[in-house]
Amino acid sequence: MINVGIIGSTGYAGSELVRLLSNHRHVCIKSVCSKSYAGNMYKNVYPNFNPSDLVCEADDMEKLAKECDVIFLALPHGEASRRVNADILDKCRIIDLGADFRLQNIDVYESWYCEHYSKDILKEAVYGLCEINREKIKGRRIIGNPGCYTTCSILSLYPLVKEGLIEPDSIIIDAKSGVSGAGRGLSAANLFCEVNESVKAYKIASHRHTPEIEEQLSYACGREITISFTPHLIPMNRGILATCYASLTSDADYDRLREAYEKYYGNEYFIRIMDKGVFPETRWVKNSNFFDVGFTVDKRTNRVIAVGAIDNLFKGAAGQAVQNMNILFGFDEKEGIGFIPPFPV
């Protein structure tokens, strides 16, 4: 049994995390913190939690560090880097669901986000993409939990890049996300009638998950690469679908691609490689920690089209955070997140 605290617990990702941790057998939630709702019963903020007796607290990082084995942060970018310090890390582990400890390249971070306030700590952070970095995660004190789009995009392409089966600079990722990715903040653009019955692209060629995908795929590739990434907003609550395009290198064909996926993902419980001719749909991963991937080779254009799907709040945020915690503390990696998801839901 470990003690955990959650800072930023009343956003959608934070709430999903509190839910998963509440249902987790080896976890005792010591504290759920929320700047906006401090003093409120958590079940009044999220009535699905009724009859939970959790109460939102103002966050006191020092106090939490003393009481908890791990603190989860779900904060706007810039906040985590401001608050985490060596003293905190001496006392407890940090799993940060925000962007501050994902990018190792500080210049890149600062050009896409803002100033970074804990550059030293960043060096020991590990990118918590569990299936790729599992061994590095173990024993680490601070984990940068990957973004939703990035989890889906990187996992869709990693084996192909790693094995040199695609031209890295030909990569184009066209991603579609449900609306919960935009969070619970007030914005006219996210009103029901503005989102429903419509689809749009946004932050074209400028979304902050772009450098995160690039950094990780560059590690896989062995050299720096640049990609195109376009997010879209879909009128549904949850789910991300990433449709990825890349030109094949000369000797790549369907079987070699399949081998690559099998090599890296064949033993992964949370990765399901679709049969030939079958492609992911977000409904099958909704409310689960699964990443589904399917792909085809288009001989007419000599391209691979690989399609990945996740639940953005689950594998794309809270579920992967729990998976990281399970790895960190030596629990069964599936604990609390390994169930069969519902359908239709």
**Which residues belong to the active site?**
148
User: Considering only CA atoms, which of 102, 177, 181 is closest in space to residue 146?
Assistant: 102
* Min CB(225)–a copy of itself separation in Å: 10
* From candidates 75, 152, 160, 241, binder to a copy of itself by CB under 8 A: 241
19 binds a copy of itself (CB under 8 A): yes
Tell me how many residues contact a copy of itself (CB under 8 A): 82
User: Considering only CA atoms, which of 98, 100, 221, 74 is closest in space to residue 159?
Assistant: 221
Burial of 185 (0-12, 13-18, 19+ CB in 10 A): exposed
227 binds a copy of itself (CB under 8 A): yes
Stretch of 63-71, 107-115, 223-231, 258-266 contacting a copy of itself, by CB under 8 A: 223-231
Q: 303 near 245, Cβ under 8 Å?
A: yes
Q: 121 near 180, Cβ under 8 Å?
A: no
* Min CB(186)–a copy of itself separation in Å: 5
Q: Binders of a copy of itself among 321-340, rule CB under 8 A?
A: 339-340
Residue with Cβ nearer a copy of itself (110 or 124): 110
* Min CB(230)–a copy of itself separation in Å: 6
Q: Binders of a copy of itself among 166-185, rule CB under 8 A?
A: 169, 172, 174, 176, 178-180, 184
* Min CB(23)–a copy of itself separation in Å: 5
Residues ≥6 apart with Cβ < 8 Å to 185: none
Count the residues in the chain. Answer: 345
| CA–CA dist 52, 205 (Å, integer) | 43
Residue with Cβ nearer a copy of itself (21 or 94): 21
235 binds a copy of itself (CB under 8 A): yes
As beta bridge partners, residue 71 has 5, 94
Q: 73 near 80, Cβ under 8 Å?
A: yes
Q: Which residue has the tokens 């945020």?
A: 317
Q: Binders of a copy of itself among 251-310, rule CB under 8 A?
A: 269, 272, 279-288, 290, 292, 296, 298, 300-301, 303, 305, 307
* Min CB(51)–a copy of itself separation in Å: 7
Q: Binders of a copy of itself among 32-71, rule CB under 8 A?
A: 46-52
Q: How far is CA 239 from CA 108, 189, 291, in A?
A: 28, 19, 11
* From candidates 115, 119, 139, 202, binder to a copy of itself by CB under 8 A: 202
CA dihedral 332, 336, 342, 345 (to 10 degrees): -140
